[in-house]
Amino acid sequence: MKKITLFALLHISILTFSQNRVNEQLPIISQLNGILNNSTGWLKNESGQWISSKNKIPNDLGEDQKILGNYEKYSIGEDNFISFERRDITIDGETYVLILKKYRDGYYRYESIEKGWMPTNSCKFYVLNKNEISKIKNIKHNENNYLQLDFIYHGDIKYIDLKTLTNVMISKEINKVRKNYDNFLEYKLGINIKCFDDKKLVQFYFYDYMKSIGNENDDKYYETSIDNFSAFIKID
């Protein structure tokens, strides 16, 4: 009888402890709502000449542009992207917009002597209220627009294999950021954007904006068709 009672108590104890192990609810990310994966990056160099590259704003390398433009650390340019993606994300019952910027990245295995270049990929994310996206949709046409979008969370998932990057993995990374998030530098998502109705083109540049630094200059941007950009975020 004592053995039965002891077994019952142990069984109840195990059940009690196991019931306390409850996983946190991860953010729920929707399927793709918009994507941009093709654009031309332009940079006005120190000589006043415009240089360009596909999906990349190149470094200004002067006479060495052709030789070094795609070499090791210069291969990723001042900025580049593989894709900009827009999805919905639900956090604690509230639905927001998730912007993903997947881009080519890399690092030196021996950083101090810049040897052993390791090409890889990374992914930035921004969680925004839906009304912030309307600032892009409702830009003034045929003039420069300098936007600063407030976001709820942002982060950078470094050195990953994009082929195995799933929504669940992104959710876990966002959940990590949420725990101790403090935007102490007061970053915003900066966007310089201009829509040319006659040429049917959009020039744009996304960057991390800080009030103390101000807007990025207009000497660098990506250019694509209005239709192509609107497949990512529709411009009215």
Per-position DSSP letters for 179-234, written without gaps between them: HT---TT--EEEEEEEEETTTTEEEEEEEEE-TTT-PPPTTEEEEEEHHHHHTTS-
Q: pLDDT tens across 167-216, in order?
A: 999 999 999 999 889 988 899 999 999 999 999 999 999 999 999 899 99
Q: Which two tokens stand for residue 94?
A: 């509230």
Q: pLDDT tens across 92-108, in order?
A: 999 999 999 999 999 99
pTM of the model: 0.90
Q: In what order do the strands lie in the sheet with 50-54?
A: 50-54, 40-44, 220-225, 201-209, 188-196, 145-149
Q: pLDDT tens across 119-133, in order?
A: 999 999 999 999 999
Domain boundaries, the chain: 24-230
- Whether residue 103 contacts residue 113, with contact meaning beta carbons closer than 8 Å, is answered with no
Whole-angstrom distance, CA of residue 235 vs CA of residue 201: 11
Q: How far is CA 40 from CA 74, 105, 131, 132, 222, in A?
A: 17, 18, 28, 25, 5
Place of tokens 């030196």: 108
Q: Which two tokens stand for residue 204?
A: 């744009």
